[in-house]
Amino acid sequence: MSKVTYEKDGRIARITLNRPQVMNAIDDEVPVLLEQAVQRADADDGVHVIVLAGVGEAFCAGYDLKYYAEGNGNGQATQDMPWDPIQDYRFMWKNTQHFMALWRALKPVVAKVHGFAVAGGSDIALCCDFVVMGDTARIGYMPTRVWGCPTTAMWVYRLGAERAKRMLFTGDKITGREAAEMGLVLKSVPDDLLDEEVEALAARMAGVPINQLAMQKLVINQAIEAQGLMNTQRLATIFDGITRHSPEGLNFKARAEAVGWKQAVAERDAGTWDWTENGPIPGANR
């Protein structure tokens, strides 16, 4: 079974992240398969709208840290020192551009988010034209606490500077309801109404000619691109590599290898570990 599935349903293309055993976490293949599916939908004159979802318990739980942190993936994302920043940049920039296929598609893309859209999963969701979340779903970029910088950099363009700082300085996860109130996503609905809400939105747009949809999307997207989106993404992608190979980033990887990624992530997100000193923060559990 493919890690990303594709189905055409009338005028709607349904792309589904399909690694439910790891909450649709991102490995080396998922970004490539995602872009291929988007390109397939974009090239089909019978498709007017794309709906992106995930199977199982979550939309996407981000990069597969068991693969990249506890292990070493393909050796590009977490290299042995001395670190080659260009090797790292080339790898992560490719992934950023795979995700941005959602943005570049001429047809509107709706992300249907249940469970979690966190870390790299939030990158994928926020590249879509619309994000509709279940009220209890959560979105955030926890790796800003250590070991990451969101390479698509969509937070600031959706939220503005102050709210983007509130999210990225803390690495907090927020609910769908909070994300909608903040203006990060289009709307949040009760979990049991998520499918119905997304279907209604997709069906409404599916009645519009493709050329009309494409023209409106191009006009709106170019306004964001004119603000320097690609420059921001290049800087974010460079910084993402630096975060993983800084002293603190290397300490996080060493901790993940020693105690497993789940414990290392829990310590990072709870703020109980000093990654500079690579030891517990005194009194952090009080």
- Outline where 138-228 has alpha helix (H): 154-159, 161-170, 176-182, 194-206, 210-225
At 77 the pLDDT is 66
C-alpha torsion 215→221→226→229, nearest 10: -150
Whether 286 shows a pLDDT value over 70: the answer reads no
The encoded tokens of residue 231 equal 């420059």
The encoded tokens of residue 69 equal 């942190």
Distance CA 128, CA 108 (A): 8
Question: Looking at per-residue confidence, does 74 or 33 come out higher?
Answer: 33
For 2, 14, 47, 127, 169, the CA distances from 40, given in Å and listed in that order, are: 15, 11, 10, 17, 37
pLDDT band at 74 (very low <50, low <70, confident <90, very high): low
Counting every residue, how long is the chain? 286
**Region of poorest pLDDT, from 34-38, 75-79, 185-189, 246-250:** 75-79
Q: Read off the pLDDT of residues 211-243 as tens digits, 9 standing for 90 and up.
A: 999 999 999 999 999 999 999 999 999 999 999
Contact 42, 103 (CB under 8 A): no
Domain boundaries 4-245, corresponding CATH code? 3.90.226.10
The encoded tokens of residue 177 equal 């309801």
Distance CA 243, CA 222 (A): 30
- CA 25 and chain centroid, separation: 10
Contact 24, 59 (CB under 8 A): yes
Q: Read off the pLDDT of residues 27-41 as tens digits, 9 standing for 90 and up.
A: 999 999 999 999 999
For 110, 158, 231, the CA distances from 234, given in Å and listed in that order, are: 25, 18, 5
Whether 71 shows a pLDDT value over 70: the answer reads no
At 18 the pLDDT is 98
**Where are the chain's structural domains?**
4-245
pLDDT band at 73 (very low <50, low <70, confident <90, very high): low
